[in-house]
Amino acid sequence: MNNILVVNINWLGDAVFSIPVFKALKKAYPQARISCLCVPRVKEVLEHCPYVDRIIVYDEKGRHRYPWQKLKLIFTLRKKRFDAGFLLHRSMTRSLMVYLAGIPLRIGYGKVKGLLTHPVAMDAEDIHRCDYYLKVPQAYGIKVQTRVCELRLKPEDIQSLDVKLSGAGLGKEEKYVVLNTGGNWDLKRWSPDSFAQLAGRLHEHMGLRVVFSGSGQDQEQCQRIAEASGIPAVIMAGATTLGESLALYKRALVVISADSGPLHLAHGVGADVIGIYGPTRPEITGPRGSGRCCILFNGVGCNKSPCYHLACGNNMCMKSVTVDDVLQAFKKFCA
């Protein structure tokens, strides 16, 4: 098997969880060229995966939205003459695309079994997402030797981050803590007031600089939290590329975040992380990188299984994790 396609999933954290799949395939077929079909939002993540040789973007909401555009992509895939396709996401559209691309071996999750040569049973969705994705190559007899999600840093990202931090008044040897306040849905977010109190205590009582990370959409909220904390925080939200964010996390003393993509990116580059969990379950979406990890999670009754009640009025599960809880976890890391 010399030419392999992996059809990836849609979200940043899940893209990190899929990395052991690529490692297992590369270990089993060291001479193979491994390509990944992915949506635009996870492309940059996979560019930092050391086991992906080529990325093919499937822009299902943009340039591949209409059937004739999908057909054009299918013809592109057909020309590449893949030996096998591994589908990590249960999608009839993607299964059909791989089928029409003429890929002889089609292994993975799918809604229509006839489109796959080796369908994988959907009987274990309550396991960790990384293990769920690894079931696909395992179903074809490929051995899994590691379940660590690893991302590589690029030297140019480290250098450009140093320039940006210096411009923000942060010395190269100065220790700092990263706070990631964002999340892809509000229910998973720790409160701005809690982040503000935490930032103030880290700076005032421990003498540490605080850096806020995130996307451009998080910039305004980070600014408000920094102002509420009353400290000279560094706002890097919206100011870094994904590669520079990885370098920022790697250099940090600790990265503190709710269950979100940046938490898994940070752990993927080996940073020490503190994860604040509430509606999601750590045993399903906990970090799987190489750094140290402390998960703060309290069972409050309604979060015995992952909760998607987005209209929740009190967000009790996230409020149950206090600023003192986070500081105690942080002190254990630094002991």
At 119-135, the pLDDT tens digits run 998 766 689 999 999 99
- Split at pLDDT 50, 70, 90, the class of 303 is confident
- Split at pLDDT 50, 70, 90, the class of 259 is very high
pLDDT score for 72? 96
The answer to whether the CB of 5 falls within 8 A of the CB of 104 is no
Q: Alpha-carbon distance 309 to 31, whole Å?
A: 46
Residue 158 CA neighbour count, 13 Å, CB half: 9
Mean pLDDT computed over 309-330: 88
- Split at pLDDT 50, 70, 90, the class of 291 is very high
At 141-186, the pLDDT tens digits run 999 989 999 999 999 999 999 999 999 999 888 999 999 998 877 8
Q: Alpha-carbon distance 325 to 305, whole Å?
A: 22
**Which residue is associated with the tokens 């080529």?**
54
Which has more confidence, 64 or 306? 64
Q: If you write DSSP's letter for every residue of 55-89 in order, what string do you get?
A: EEE--TTTTT-SHHHHHHHHHHHHHT--SEEEE-S
Q: What is the CA radius of gyration of the chain?
A: 21
pLDDT score for 31? 96
At 53-106, the pLDDT tens digits run 999 999 988 899 989 999 999 999 999 999 999 999 889 999 999 999 999 999
**Which residues does residue 64 pair with via DSSP β-bridges, in sequence order?**
none
**Residue 204: how many other CB atoms lie within 10 Å:** 12
* Averaged confidence pLDDT in the chain: 93
Which has more confidence, 123 or 212? 212
Query: Cα separations (Å) of 149 from 134, 235, 268?
Result: 12, 27, 5
pLDDT score for 125? 65
Q: Is the pLDDT of residue 307 over 80?
A: no
The answer to whether the CB of 279 falls within 8 A of the CB of 318 is yes
At 184-198, the pLDDT tens digits run 778 889 999 999 999
Q: Alpha-carbon distance 187 to 164, whole Å?
A: 32
**Which residues does residue 104 pair with via DSSP β-bridges, in sequence order?**
none
Chain mean position to CA 271: 14
At 17-36, the pLDDT tens digits run 999 999 999 999 999 999 99
**Which residue is associated with the tokens 């179903």?**
139
41 residue type, one letter: R
Query: Cα separations (Å) of 82 from 182, 203, 317?
Result: 38, 54, 46
DSSP-derived secondary structure letter, 313: S
Angle at 160 between CA 154 and CA 166, to 5 degrees: 135
Q: Alpha-carbon distance 315 to 15, whole Å?
A: 27
- Dihedral of CA 56/19/299/229: which sign? negative
Helix (H, G, I), strand (E, B) or coil at 6: strand
Domains detected in the chain: 3-139 (3.40.50.2000), 155-334 (3.40.50.2000)
